[in-house]
Amino acid sequence: MANKIFHSAADALEGLLFDGMTIVAGGFGLCGIPENCIAAIRDSGVRGLTIVSNNAGVDGFGLGLLLESRQVAKMISSYVGENREFERQYLAGELELEFCPQGTLAERMRAGGAGIPGFYTRTGVGTVVAEGKEHREFDGKTYILERGIVADLAIVKAWRADPFGNLVYRKTARNFNPMAATAGRVTVAEVEEIVPEGGLDPDCIHTPSVFVKRLFAGTFEKRIEQRTVRRREAAAA
């Protein structure tokens, strides 16, 4: 078995990064994001990136770090409403944006990982999402062609891994990670714990090891994206 375990994000990403590359990142909001890999990509100084992710992080954390350092040239995302720097760059014409409906984005990742170059969907028909895309009718209904996504690199965050690279995600941190893990020519996984061989129930593995080329155990801040609390007097009432 080839050794897939590395000491850190920087070690795991060594030799994989280059200017102008496309990176698929797992996560949803700040839940289950590969925060160690994102920080290492920022520190590498690589530029002109196309980032495929459900969202763009927040100011000062997650993918927001790469926006602040001006390393991102294009985002392919579903939701970008939590990041003021993203808004500023986009409105100033400094950042290219391709909006993609959330379910379509997940399927584009899954299709790319399955070797499917494209698929038809009704989502987005009659909106700006459909502009410039092939339209076809099936059973009297109009569909648009969406392309599968295969990136130069996929970065994902999991709960546990074994030395082979089998991954288990925890609860909602599963989100986009399983699809993203299949959509990279090379996939790097950061995990909370690496268990010994045989330490994972085979029936509970979410991402098989065949998709994972490198992994490491990271440390995680796990920020809360939006903290909502009651005022003390309201709580007492």
Residue whose entry in the numeric block shows the structure tokens 């809360």: 224
Domain coordinates of the chain in residue numbers? 9-217
Summarize pLDDT for 52-64 with one digit per residue, the tens. Answer: 999 999 999 999 9
User: Which token pair is 146?
Assistant: 């969406």
Which residues fall within 8 angstroms of residue 177, CB to CB, at 6 or more apart? 26, 27, 32, 156, 157, 158, 167, 169, 206, 207
pLDDT band at 2 (very low <50, low <70, confident <90, very high): confident
Of the listed ranges 59-68, 167-176, 219-228, the one predicted with least confidence: 219-228
Architecture of the domain defined by 9-217 = 3-Layer(aba) Sandwich (3.40)
Q: Is the distance from CB of 16 to CB of 211 less than 8 angstroms?
A: no
Percent of the chain with pLDDT over 90: 89
**Pick from 155, 152, 171: which is nearest to 62 by CA?**
155
Model confidence pTM above 0.85: yes
**Alpha carbon distance 160, 206 (integer Å):** 10
What is the DSSP-derived secondary structure letter of residue 63? T
Residue 46's φ and ψ, nearest 5 degrees, are -60, 145
Summarize pLDDT for 27-46 with one digit per residue, the tens. Answer: 999 999 999 999 999 999 99
